Amino acid sequence: MLAGMAEKAEPPAFVPARIPLSPEETAQWQKLDLDALGRFFSNPARFFIQRRLGFLLEEKSPLSEDRENFVLVALEKYLVEQNLFKARLSGSALEDFMPVQKALGQLPHGHVGDFHYNEMGIEAENFVSKIKYFTSLTPGKPIEIDLKIAGFDLKGRVSEIAESGFVNIRYARKRVADILTSWIHHLALCHGAPPQYPQPSVLICKDSAIQFGAVPESKDLLEDLLNLFRRGLEGPLHFFPEASWQYAEYKLNKAGSEQSALAKAGLKWRGPDSPQKYARAESDNPYYDLCFRRMDPLDDEFKKIALKVFTPLFAYSKEFIL
């Protein structure tokens, strides 16, 4: 009977208890790069497993070696779009760039490839036209960030500086990870840039743009994020950009009930209930799966962290359509 009970017992969590940093590790992590802080908040579980535990998990690739030659899969489409955008931004004519793109082998063969290229070329032209105001701004000198804060030496170089402030242009649909990275850079600039620096920042994406205003308490908010980073080095943090954003947005911006906000977060985390509605669940990420497959991580810790991260971000940002 005891053997049967043992078989039914829940397996332990991947990390059942926090793993404190050794003095040597603490000294190592005191020197922190600004971009590394952004990568942490894009997937804290991945950062913990890769950078603290030191191993990689295989992530599913949307590329397939045996795909039909008329299919343009998601990653290839993204890579072609980035090349077209950069070419058009530099002033190159897209029709002249087509042979280069075909030589890279990222387009389907024949007329199908030509069709996809022309469609993506039109989208790139339209986007470059929409952001003409921002690309015409006089470039500013890169700003070096060097802050001693919350026990860290936080350093970095922000090069996307224009006369109006920090301008981050991403030729892709808006992602929470990109918003968080821009927010972290914005806080660092608000606290650590020279006094004459213009403090508004802008993140521009294909579908919309977000402007961040001056943040008087930027030092306190950076300390909050750095304290979460420290916790995330000792174990998987219950923070998931998409699900956490959904919870905070419905709780704060849409005055949703606790139950409805958590339900919206659950849809992002677990994916839609109907198999007909295709949307990749955030929990499908192999790092999240390894850390949280034996539990429901949308708990009180999840809710507190989501509100701590996104309450000030929502307060100092506004979205606008290009």
**How many other CB atoms sit within 10 Å of the CB of residue 3?**
6
Give the per-residue pLDDT at 63: 42
Which of 184-198, 237-251, 263-277 has the lowest average pLDDT?
263-277
Please tell me whether the overall predicted TM-score, pTM, comes out greater than 0.85 for this model.
yes
Give the per-residue pLDDT at 70: 42
Give the per-residue pLDDT at 278: 57
Round to whole Å and give the CA distance between 285 and 278: 16
CB contact burial 299-311 (16+ within 10 A = b; e otherwise): eeebbebbbbbbe
Write phi, then psi, for 31 (nearest 5 degrees). -90, 105
> What stretch of H or E contains 104?
none
> What stretch of H or E contains 13?
none
Which residue, 198, 218, 201, 212, is CA-closest to 160?
201
Give the per-residue pLDDT at 275: 55
Give the per-residue pLDDT at 72: 60
For the domain made up of 74-134, the CATH class stated in words is mainly alpha
Q: Kindly list the domain boundaries of the chain, sorted by start residue.
A: 30-52+137-216, 74-134, 227-314
Q: Where are the alpha helices (DSSP H) in 151-236?
A: 176-192, 218-233
Better pLDDT: 81 or 279: 81
List pLDDT tens digits, range 39-76.
999 999 999 999 999 999 987 654 433 333 445 667 78
Tokens of 218: 């930027």
Cβ atoms of 97 and 84 closer than 8 Å: yes
Which residue, 100, 104, 122, 129, is CA-closest to 322?
129
Cβ atoms of 311 and 252 closer than 8 Å: yes
pLDDT, averaged across the chain:
89
List pLDDT tens digits, range 173-219.
999 999 999 999 999 999 999 988 988 999 999 999 999 999 999 99
